[in-house]
Amino acid sequence: MKILAIDTSALTATAAILADGKLISEISTTTALNHSVTVMPMIDELLKKVNMDISEIDLFACSEGPGSFTGLRIGIGTVKGLAYGLSKKVVGVSTLLALAHNISCTDLVIAPIMDARRSQVYNALYKYVEGNLTEITPPRALSVEELCDEISEKTIFVGDGVLAYKDKISEFLGDKAVFASPQNMLQRAGSVAYAALYKEPIDAEALTAVYLRKPQAEREREEKEAL
């Protein structure tokens, strides 16, 4: 089984190929460039590095959200287009679950957090149970203060929300807060690919984004209408 996975849910754009359960190639870049410009060249470079044709890919996977509205549309659109063209199946993976897969061999609760703006983070809580990464709190949007109020045991935080709120989390939780190493802090397509192994493939047309919140433009319009 060969899986090509991408994640364009945030500032980081990343692509990877997993073959028979082994990560054989991965590329990540964190720049201000539009993901629509970077993602296809990244995929092309990946395939060239491992001397593989796109037709050899058995399954396409991508982050389904939460995350940047534009970024998610780019990633999902890319995967759908490739899958349609090759009559292959797809898998959508929660961005938060993929971030949790960046962390292994721990008994701690894993708390992926993504900066959702408006003083909120996207978050879910996970823990390894008998070697399997298990969701203990489903994805939601909430304030850092609300999240910290829920934390009662040592927890490892991962995701770009750490870059924005590390000091506040440390202030609230003290030594109960542990932070992922820099190389595992942000999105990795390899983690999307590994998470995809545990999900049932679907037809490309069934793949949709999971936003958790309404688009900013829609929220602002509703706020104006409420005045």
pLDDT of residue 214: 66
Among the CATH numbers 3.40.50.720, 3.30.420.40, 3.40.47.10, 1.10.10.10, which is that of 103-184?
3.30.420.40
Q: What is the pLDDT of residues 186-207, one digit of tens each?
A: 999 999 999 999 999 999 999 9
pTM exceeds 0.75: yes
Model confidence at 31, pLDDT cuts 50, 70, 90, reads confident
Per CATH, 2-96+186-221 and 103-184 having the same topology is answered yes
Between residues 218 and 209, the one the model is more confident about: 209
Q: How are strands ordered across the β-sheet holding 2-7?
A: 22-30, 12-19, 2-7, 59-65, 89-94
Q: What's the mean per-residue pLDDT of the chain?
A: 93
Q: What percent of the chain is modeled with pLDDT above 90?
A: 89
Let me know: does 113 contact 142? Beta carbons within 8 Å.
no
The token pair at 142 is: 């909430």
Residue ranges covered by each domain of the chain? 2-96+186-221, 103-184
Of 94-103, 126-135, 216-225, give the lowest mean pLDDT range.
216-225
* Fold annotation for 2-96+186-221: Nucleotidyltransferase; domain 5 (3.30.420)
CA angle 180, 140, 176 (to 5 degrees): 35
